[in-house]
Every structure is written in structure tokens, then in C-alpha cells.
Structure 1
Amino acid sequence: MTIFTDDVVAAVTGHMNGDHTDDNLLIARAFGYPDATQSRMVGVSGDGGEWAVTDAAGEHQLSVAWPGGAISERPEIRRQVVELYKVACDKLGISPRDEHAPAAENAGHEHGGAAAGAQAHGGHGHGGHGHGDAHPHAGGRHGAPAEEHEGPQPFSSVIRESSWSDHSDSEGATFMEDIMRGIGTKQDYIDLVAQHFFMYEALEAAATQLSADPAFADFHPAALVRMPALEADLLHLVGADWRERISPVPATAAYAARIREIADEGWAAGIVAHHYTRYLGDLSGGQMIARRVAKQHELSSEGIEFYDFTDLGSIADFKTGYRAALDALGERLDDAERARMLDEVRAAYAFNTAVFVDLGAAKAAAA
């Protein structure tokens, strides 16, 4: 049996638990627990996936073999998860989502997280990347059925599915892999926090346009603001002169410049594209990064305040509201503007990946 490395398992489970929560529940109901109320993916191997399932009788461990047989390479995981989803739909008598139909499989997932997420992602989720988007067809004839979705696919789902491969790209950056596997140094983490400062300096300046517009204000409540936490983290990690001791890598500078360009244009949907990519990764896979870094480098709240969203209240409720706001935005945009926004989401993931690559190169050069 192939045993995947911890970072791969963390990336896959983080993505499934952040972006595919309803699919986890559907799989549990289809494979032995028809009355399941909760389901989280907790493991991945070459033979199949594992879930922690909760129903009225308590918590259970569920192992499900991959439909196509044993696998040995990471890229095969996604394909097998998709096939497992289809099998579960068939068992429950549910029509699979359009993006998982054979003809659409490459157009959706292959084209193109976090959290983590493996940035999981440090955000992106960081990786991360995880976004917590729910699928419209979860549920079924067993357990509590969800209403079948008819009509256009919710825009939040379109965004999530179109950026799948971009999550994988960022999760594969060696710099972030080291942090996720617990082999990165404390300086690696400090360097990541420094890049976050320059990213969020631009992003939160741009996000004031969202807060000021009633049509976009739900995306950016005051409790989401990260700059004070980043400044506190850098003070703790670097010292009082932290502003003079940090600088952006080229990819971060380009990333911030792109955000400022969009803000200067006043393109609110473009600001949301970057806002979504960063914040939902921080709320998903970023939480995994905080736990691992805190344990490895013996940090308490000081040094990881960036990932503390206590003032936001329920993270799950916020992400649900965020998805609803994305869906409402999608209904207001015409086809051309929707496509333009999706391209910007993909560009945001590319910027994040480039930042990790630059951080890795800088680390190698300093060695």
C-alpha cells in the first residue's frame, strides 16, 4: 500500500474538509452511514480514503477503497475522489454535478485552493488553500435530503471548481511543503509572515472599497482585517525595527502591484477575486499552518495572531455567508465579467505560487 507524505495528506484532507464538506457527507451516507450528520476526511492512502463520521449512534471510522483500485501517485488522488463522488451519487440516486460529468471533467478541475488548503495554504492555505464552498447536490434519499439544485451552477461553486489545479500548484511549492511538514525553520515562517504583510497592506487598502459599497460590504467586515495582527506578529518575531528588516520578494511586489492596479481601476469584482483567494484560505488551511507552526516553534498566541479570527465568530457561518455573497455577485455580473473575475482568481493563485517559489529561491541563495 502506498503511504503518502504528511503534507500530501494534509493538503488533500484540508481541501476536502474546507471546500467539499457536503461531498464528505454524501460519501458517508452512501458507504454505510445513511443517517450521518457530519463527515470529515481524515486520511488518504494508496488504497482509499478515510473519514470520521458522526450519526445518532456516535462517531465512526469509515474506510472506502478507490473505485479504480490502488494508486501510487498524488495526481491520481483527485481523479479517484471524483470517481468516488460519482459512485456515491449513483448509490444515493443523485445526479452528479455537471462539473463532474465526463465531458466536463477536464474543463472544470484540470483548468483550475489552499489550505490548506495547504497553504494549506498559509492561506492559501496557504495554503491552502481551502475555501469551504459547499456543493449544491449534497444529501439524497438517505438521511436529510438536500434540495436538488436546478438552473445555473452557483457562482461560488464555479469559482471553487475552476481553480482546483491552482490549489494543487500552490500546494506543491517546496517552501510551503517544508512548513506544512514541520521541517521548515522559524526563519521560513518569519519570511512568510513578512510577505503576508506586503500582500495585505495592498489588499486591505483595496478592500476599503468593498466596505464602503453596500453591495460588497458583506465580504469585508471589520473583524476580518489582518493588518494589526500582522504588525503584532512581526513585532514579536522580528523586533521593534521589523519595518526596516523586511522586504518583499519580487513575486510579492508584483502581487501587491496587481492588487493596487485593480483598486485604482475601481474594479470591485477583481478586488473580490483576490480577497476570496486570500481570506478564505486563511480561514481554512491557514488554521492548519497556525497549529503546526505554533507546536514546532513553541509559539502561543504571539506570533500567530494573523490566523486568529475569534472576533469573526463562527468561521463556518462566515464562510457560508461569504459563499452566498459570491453567488449574489455572480448573478449581477454578465458572462464576460464573470469570466474576467475567474481569470483574476486564477491569477491570484499564480501570484501566491510565485511567492513561494521566490521564497524558496531566496532561502537557497542565503544557504
Structure 2
Amino acid sequence: MTQRSDVPADPPAGDRDARVRDEAAGAVPSPNADEIRRIGLSNALREVTAPLHRQAEKAGAISDIVRGRSSRAAYALLLRNLHAVYEAIERCLDRHRATPAVRHIVRDEVFRAGAIALDLENLCGGAAAAAAVPLLPEGRAYAEAVTASAEGDGVGLIGHAYTRYLGDLSGGQTVSQVLARTLGLDADKRNIYRFAAIGDLDAYKDGYRAAIDRAAFETDRPDAILAEAMRAFRLNIALFWAVQAAADGAAARAGTPAPVD
């Protein structure tokens, strides 16, 4: 591919944390509980996370994928770390199936851990090779944060589910197409973005947002859900930069030239 001067260069490693902090500082102030219920929790989540969402789309490994600069090894590393996150989310959601508020968003048809495990095996050439892909500190920290959010009434899980599942159902569909085009990944390596049990994705997303809205009426802490969703985006941003750095480092050690736009 030819070099494009209009694509911003990735920031130096030392600037990445600063960018995350700057984005967090610019986040929209959270409304109070009554306002959240009035406008709808899903709308409130979209509004308060919008700056972080934009930052996540430009961060590290995700930016590389969208710009056609990723590699199969980098994508496998991203999947390995997301697998730990989804395992934590789904284990905790399963525990809270009957819990007020959380019960509305426990949907087996969107669970992704099994699909990611299958993608990893197919991408790496078997279970043994998939198991050798490392869990980064940022992936571990993300999974631990999910587990911590499930303590007590577990409403923070709604913020994590919103961030990951609606992302997979929305922008994830575009990511899947890019992966097919730029890395030549067959459908059996993109199961994370395939929802066989869901027919109309747009209608399903509307229903999932409505379920999130209902959840706000079963907790006196809807603001905690907003806070956890913002935390989830920050954790994603940190993970995306870490995956990029680790993959680039591994490629450099192997003598593989970094892709260019």
C-alpha cells in the first residue's frame, strides 16, 4: 500500500496515557438518576461515553485494523486478551441472571467467549498454539475490573455489557468486513462478529437498548452504570495501545517490517 500523509501518525508510547487522561477529562458530565431515567439509560450511556468512544476508535490495535495495518499475529493477541474480558463478563452476568436491573441484559445469544475461543484456535492453527498467545497486563486488569464491578448488586456489569456487546453488534460488523478484506480472514475466524441466533441486528439492538433503559428503573444507582461504562472504554483504550505495542515489538524482534498505509 502507498504511504498516506493525511493519516495521523500514531502517538509516541509516552503520550498514550496522556491522551486517555485528556479524553476522560473531556467526558460529558453524568446526569442524575431522575434525568437518566427520563432520557433513557441507553441514551445517557451514549452521551457520556461519546468522547471516549471516539478515542477508542483511534487507539492502537483497533486503529491498525481499520487502517489495514494489522497482522494476523496482532489480531490473535487482541482476541486472546478480549477472551479473558468476555469470560469475566459472561461468568458474572450468569451469576446475576436473577438480580434486579442486571437481569434485563443477560442474553446468551450475545455471549462471545465461546466464539472468540473458536476464532483463536482457527487463527492460530489449534488449541495448543492459541493457548500460547499471552495475556497482557492490560487484558488481565480489564478482566479484573469486570469482576470487581459484579460485586454487590452488580449493576456495573450493565456498563460493561453496553460497551462490548453493542459494540460488536454495531461497529464490530464493519471491523469484520475489514478483517476479511485486509487479512483474508474467512468466516470461521470471525465468529466473534457472527450472531447466528439473531436475525435482524438493528431490531435486536433497539431491543437491547430498551432492556438497558428498563434496568435503570430497578436500581437507585444508574449513575454507577455510567461510571462503569466510561471505565470500560478507558480499559479498552489501554488494551488497544498495549496490544499494538506488544505486536509491534514482537514483529521487530522477528525482523518483520511494520505495515504502512
TM-score under structure 1 normalisation? 0.56
Residue 290 of structure 1: SS of its match in structure 2?
Answer: helix
Could you tell me which residue of structure 2 aligns to residue 177 of structure 1? 63
Return the offset for 1:297.
2.1
Distance 1:182 1:169, change over 3 A: same
**Percent sequence identity over aligned pairs:** 32
**CA gap 1:182/1:270 in 2 versus in 1, 3 angstroms:** same
Cα offset for 1:305?
Answer: 0.7
1:262 aligns with 2:149: yes
CA distance in 2, matches of 1:228, 1:277: 18
State the match for 1:299 in structure 2.
185
The structural deviation recorded for 1:215 is 5.0
Deviating 4+ runs (over 6 angstroms): none
Once the 2 structures are TM-superposed, how far is the Cα of residue 208 of structure 1 from its aligned partner?
0.3
**Structure 1 gaps, min length 5:** 7-108, 113-150
Structure 1 counterpart of 2:132: 245
Distance 2:187 2:177 in 1: 10
Give the conservation status (yes or no) of the 8 Å contact 2:27–2:49. Answer: yes
The reply on whether 1:111 has 2:33 as its aligned counterpart is no
In 2, the alpha carbon distance for the partners of 1:312 and 1:221 equals 11
How much has 1:261 moved relative to structure 2?
1.7
Distance (Å, rounded) in 1 between the aligned partners of 2:216 and 2:103: 15
Whose helix proportion is higher, 1 or 2? 2
Aligned residue for 2:189, secondary structure, equals coil
Q: Number of matched residues?
A: 222
Distance 1:359 1:317 in 2: 33
2 CA distance for matches of 1:283 and 1:242? Answer: 28
Q: Which structure has more RCO (C-alpha within 8 Å, separation ≥ 6)?
A: 2
Other-structure match for 1:341: 225
CA distance in structure 2 between the aligned counterparts of 1:224 and 1:347, rounded to whole angstroms:
21
From the CA coordinates, give the structure whose radius of gyration is larger: 1
Decide which structure has greater strand share: 1
Q: Note if contact 2:81-2:139 (Cα within 8 Å) is conserved in structure 1.
A: yes
Instruction: Give, in whole Å, the separation in 2 of the partners of 1:297 and 1:364.
Output: 16
Partner of 1:99: none
Letter in 1 for 2:133: I
| 1:154 equivalenced with 2:70 (yes/no) | no
CA distance in 2 between counterparts of 1:210 and 1:219 reads: 10
The unaligned stretches of length 5 or more in structure 2 are 9-24, 29-36, 253-261
1:310 counterpart SS class: coil
Distance 2:249 2:130 in 1: 22
Aligned-residue offset at 1:279: 0.5
Matched, 1:278 2:154: no
Q: Distance in 1 between matches of 2:192 and 2:185?
A: 13
- Quote the residue 1:48 is aligned against: none
Q: Which amino acid aligns with 2:97?
A: S
Q: Could you say which residue in structure 1 is the equivalent of 2:238?
A: 354
- In the TM superposition, 1:1-367 aligns within 5 A as 110-112=26-28, 152-213=38-99, 215-238=101-124, 239-263=126-150, 265-334=151-220, 337-366=221-250, 367=252
Distance apart, 1:189 and its partner CA: 1.3
Q: Does the 8 Å CA contact 2:66/2:175 hold for their aligned counterparts?
A: yes
